[in-house]
Amino acid sequence: MNIILLGPPGAGKGTQSAGLVERHGMLQLSTGDMLRAAVKAETPVGVKAKAVMDRGELVSDEIVSELIDANLAAMDAGTGAIFDGYPRTEAQAVDLDAILAKHGRTLDHVIELEVNEDALVERITGRFSCAKCGALYHDTANPPAKEGVCDSCGSTEFKRRPDDNEETVRTRMQEYRAKTAPILPGYEARSIVTRVDGMAGIEDVAAAIDGILS
């Protein structure tokens, strides 16, 4: 099973991917996470991407498609892929079809997380993650069970993303509307799009996604 989780910044793509990995043994391919790792490691890709990401704009199609191709090549053929934050442009959607074909895979579902944009700024400015294992949290909607301690690994170190400020979030939303939303009709024409209410609680969204995959 290969699926795309589509939705604007803060829609819950990362949160739901983590649940799918845990429940179904799929692998999450998040271009945002790959790029952040490259920035941290100061690789040539990371150095190029950093300023673009800090502005909330999109990194080049070539860079992200190469990252996806390399990650899929390293995956077991039997493991399902969750594309989180990719594709984000029409060119990337075309690239993904070619990359999937190259690796003998097909796209089964595009799941669109429908959210109210007004809620997204609050979701994003309240987000933090475990510095050790990357588990995602929110100040009010999804805090760790024990304050200051990661539920998943017990670490007490947390971090926030540099692009999680109101100004950058607005740019990221504009980029989504202008460049990413237009890829949906192409998938609709293939009858593989299902919409899920991303404003529901995290568990309810997960149950709706499981319903689509079953």
Catalytic residues: 13, 88, 127, 161, 172
DSSP letters of 45-57? HHHHHHHHHHHT-
DSSP tag of 165: S
| Min dist. Cβ of residue 104 to ligand AP5 (A) | 22
* 178 CB-near residues (< 8 Å, 6+ apart): none
| Min dist. Cβ of residue 204 to Mg ion (A) | 19
Q: Which stretch binds Mg ion (CB under 5 A): 6-14, 61-69, 87-95, 174-182?
A: 6-14
Q: How do strand 127-130 and strand 136-138 relate by DSSP bridges? A: antiparallel
* 60 CB-near residues (< 8 Å, 6+ apart): none
Query: CB nearest Mg ion: which residue?
Result: 14
| Min dist. Cβ of residue 32 to Mg ion (A) | 5
Distance CA 161, CA 171 (A): 15
Binding site for ligand AP5 (CB under 6 A): 7, 9-15, 31-32, 35, 52-53, 56-59, 64, 85-86, 88, 92, 123-124, 126-127, 136-138, 141-142, 172, 201-202, 205
Residue closer to ligand AP5 (CB basis): 80 or 87: 87
Q: Which stretch binds Mg ion (CB under 5 A): 12-20, 65-73, 108-116, 191-199?
A: 12-20
Count CB atoms within 10 A of the CB of residue 145: 7
Residue closer to ligand AP5 (CB basis): 105 or 170: 170
In contact, 175 and 56? CB cutoff 8 Å: yes
* 172 CB-near residues (< 8 Å, 6+ apart): 8, 9, 56, 163
Residue closer to Mg ion (CB basis): 32 or 80: 32
| Min dist. Cβ of residue 127 to Mg ion (A) | 9
Q: How far is CA 38 from CA 33, 55, 60, 144, 212, in A?
A: 9, 17, 14, 27, 33
Query: CB nearest ligand AP5: which residue?
Result: 32
Residue closer to ligand AP5 (CB basis): 25 or 201: 201
14 contacts Mg ion (rule: CB under 5 A): yes
Residues in the site for Mg ion, rule: CB under 5 A? 13-14
